[in-house]
């Protein structure tokens, strides 16, 4: 009897001890064995809350909490990141590319499948950002930020409300217009204006877009990426196409700036956290991704970056400074037409780059170079002849 009682007791204790961790499931898994390891994170510039101006230093927080050293580096374009990854040698554990680059990476089998049991915070990502075209089975990516491109203009220099990309072709603003300095985004604006698909594989469509961009070329001050901040904030340029989130940053410095989503449509992007296949610390990478989706961290990042967030808890958080911001989160009636980039096939991509180079060279008027070079060449020839004659004379003299 006693024996039976004991065995029951032991069984109960055993059961309880098994059930205990299950009951306490939200409690963290044990990650102490990862202490002292290094995690290589490769992200866009200015794309994480980094502790400046009293914000939360997310990477330092992660290091403090888990004892994993974060080796954090930046890239400035998806293509740049891809080249670094492709050329090998560089080992990254977490990368944050945009949707079309994710599609390319998955296509080329360069991403590792994530173990979502290690990323419970994935549940907070809004369903409308899950299972998008590049990762329909939700195996590889966790969305980090989303956003749209729009038109930024200086109200002291531009008259009237603006609602169309057409203003970027308005000669009235010649020399005061800034355009994206990367082919995909620049073509996108022309394509939206023409009402084409940004993922067209028809070279005729691209040619038409090129013609439009060539028309714009003489009106442009310069093709820029992050230099746009400086130029718009100082009023050096009147009109620029850039990301909505960045407008909010510029507006803080220069309240004369205004923003709109042109009616012809805009590009819409999703940047996601992924793990490359050659990672050496996948467990820590998943831990990091989960950490980035923790409410307080996600709020800090969203406040810092100013891009729209796909995180449900952030949207409702009272600590979120941009809660309900109508530029980042326009309501249904204000929502512009959007197109998302897909990965272009190799031929189309090469064709686009070729056109892009053609566009940029077009602006070069090089008469002076031809004249200058011919004159220099003539001078050299004259000199050499002169030298030759002199030498002959000398020889004759001796």
Partner 1 sequence: MNKQSSLMSRLAGAPYLVWAALFIIVPLGMVAYYAFTDSEGAFTLANLAEISKYKDTFVLSIWLGLLATVICLLIAYPLAYIMAQKGPQKQSTMTMLIMLPMWMNFLLRTYSWMTILEDYGLVNTLITSLGFEPLQLINTRGAVVLGMVYNFLPYMILPIYTVMLKTDHSLVEAAQDLGGNKLDVFRNVTIPLSVPGVVSGFTMVFVPSVSTFYISQKLGGTGTILIGDIIETQFQTANNFHLGASLSFILMILIFICLAVMNRFSDDDGGVII
Nearest to partner 1 of 128, 387 (CB atom): 387
Grouping H, G, I as helix, E, B as strand and the rest as coil, residue 16 is: helix
Closest to 343 (Cα-Cα) out of 232, 199, 246, 245: 199
CB 364 to partner 1: min, Å: 6
H-type helices in the chain, by residue range? 2-23, 58-66, 78-86, 99-107, 183-194, 203-216, 227-233, 244-253, 282-292, 295-305, 312-316, 346-362, 367-397
In the complex, the smallest distance separating the C-beta of residue 353 from partner 1, rounded to whole angstroms, is 4
CB of 81 to partner 1, least distance (A): 11
Shortest reach from residue 345's CB to partner 1, in Å: 12
Give the CA distances from residue 378 to residues 93, 250, 367, 368, 369, in Å, rounded to whole numbers and listed in that order.
Answer: 59, 52, 17, 15, 14
What is the C-alpha to C-alpha distance for residues 174 and 276, in angstroms, rounded to an integer?
44
Euclidean distance between CA atoms 377 and 311, whole angstroms:
65
Residue (83 or 334) nearer to partner 1, CB: 83
- Give the footprint of partner 1 on this chain (CB under 8 A): 77, 79-80, 82-83, 182-183, 217, 220-223, 234-236, 346, 349-350, 353, 356-358, 360-361, 363-366, 368-370, 372-373, 376, 380, 384, 387, 390-391, 394
Q: Which is nearer to partner 1, 9 or 380 (CB)?
A: 380
Q: For residue 233, give the DSSP letter.
A: H
How near is the Cβ of 233 to partner 1 at its closest, in Å?
A: 10
CB 244 within 8 A of CB 326: no
The nearest distance, CB 369 to partner 1, in angstroms, is 4
Nearer to partner 1, 321 or 347 (CB): 347
Q: Which CB atom, from 21 or from 218, has the smaller least distance to partner 1?
A: 218
Min separation Cβ 39 and partner 1, Å: 26
Kindly tell me which of 24 and 361 has the beta carbon lying closer to partner 1. 361
Q: 139 or 234, CB closer to partner 1?
A: 234
- Sequence length of the chain is 398
Q: How many helices (H) and strands (E) does the chain have?
A: 13, 10
């Amino acid at each position: 009897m006693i024996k039976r009682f004991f065995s029951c007791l032991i069984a109960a204790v055993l059961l309880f001890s098994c059930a205990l961790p299950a009951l306490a499931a939200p409690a963290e898994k044990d990650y102490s064995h990862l202490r002292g390891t290094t995690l290589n994170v490769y992200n866009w510039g200015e794309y994480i809350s980094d502790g400046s101006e009293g914000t939360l230093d997310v990477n330092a927080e992660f290091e403090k909490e888990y004892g994993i050293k974060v080796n954090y580096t930046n890239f400035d374009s998806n293509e740049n990141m891809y080249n670094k990854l492709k050329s090998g040698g560089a080992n990254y554990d977490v990368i944050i590319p945009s949707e079309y680059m994710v599609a390319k990476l998955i296509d080329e089998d360069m991403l590792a499948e994530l173990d979502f049991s290690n990323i419970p915070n994935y549940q907070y990502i809004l369903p409308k950002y899950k299972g998008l075209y590049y990762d329909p089975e939700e195996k590889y990516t966790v969305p980090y930020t989303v956003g749209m491109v729009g038109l930024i203009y200086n109200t002291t220099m531009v008259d009237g409300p603006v609602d169309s990309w057409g203003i970027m072709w308005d000669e009235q603003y010649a020399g005061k217009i800034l355009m994206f300095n990367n082919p995909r985004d620049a073509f996108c604006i022309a394509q939206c204006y023409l009402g084409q698909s940004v993922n067209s594989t028809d070279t005729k469509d691209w040619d038409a877009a090129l013609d439009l961009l060539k028309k714009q070329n003489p009106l442009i001050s310069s093709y820029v990426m992050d230099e746009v901040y400086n130029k718009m904030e100082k009023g050096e340029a009147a009109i620029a196409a850039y990301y909505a989130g960045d407008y909010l940053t510029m507006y803080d410095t220069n309240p004369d700036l205004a923003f709109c989503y042109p009616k012809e449509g805009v590009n819409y992007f999703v940047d996601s956290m992924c793990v490359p296949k050659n990672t050496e610390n996948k467990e820590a990478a998943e831990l990091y991704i989960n950490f980035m989706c923790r409410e307080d961290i996600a709020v800090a990042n969203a406040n810092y970056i100013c891009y729209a967030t796909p995180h449900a808890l952030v949207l409702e958080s009272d600590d979120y400074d941009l809660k309900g911001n109508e530029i980042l989160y326009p309501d249904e009636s204000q929502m512009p037409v959007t197109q998302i980039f897909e990965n272009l096939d190799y031929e189309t991509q090469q064709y686009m780059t070729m056109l892009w180079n053609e566009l940029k060279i077009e602006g070069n008027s090089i008469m002076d170079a031809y004249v200058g070079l011919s004159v220099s060449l003539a001078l050299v020839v004259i000199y050499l002849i002169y030298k030759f004659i002199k030498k002959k004379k000398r020889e004759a003299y001796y």
